[in-house]
Amino acid sequence: MITLQNPLGTISMNADYFAELVSLAARSCYGVAGMATGGAHDDFKSLFFGSDFPEKGVRVTQNEGKLTIELHIKVGYGLNIATIVQSITHKVKHEVENATGLKVERIEVSVDDIVAD
């Protein structure tokens, strides 16, 4: 659960909301072929929910009011990975900060697979 304090009270947001927001922003970037599983937890969930679920490859944590986002992606073969990662970090940070008002402290992008078209 991600929380935001304001003068009127506390706002709590479900982690699934953030996962969906981050996943959609990342997948809309050029060169991203899809989201990869982010470890054993995602592998286990894919057994029950199928190969594509909203929080696949996304982990959002909050520390002292700032967000840390971890992404696991697949990229297209022959593309500049550094450019793709830079595009993702800018897009995800912009989308999350505009949608929620929370500050993004760090975005970690792991390229787990390269997909040939």
Q: Is the pLDDT of residue 39 over 70?
A: no
Give the separation between CA 84 and CA 80, rounded to whole angstroms: 6
CATH number for the domain formed by residue range(s) 14-115: 3.30.70.1350
Q: How confident is the model at residue 40 (pLDDT cuts 50, 70, 90)?
A: low
Instruction: Supply 56's token pair.
Output: 């696949």
pTM of the predicted structure, to 2 decimals? 0.78
**Phi and psi torsions of 47, nearest 5°:** -65, -35
Q: What percent of the chain has pLDDT over 70?
A: 84
Domain boundaries along the sequence of the chain: 14-115
Report the alpha-carbon distance of residue 58 to residue 18 in Å, rounded.
Answer: 9
pLDDT at res. 48: 52
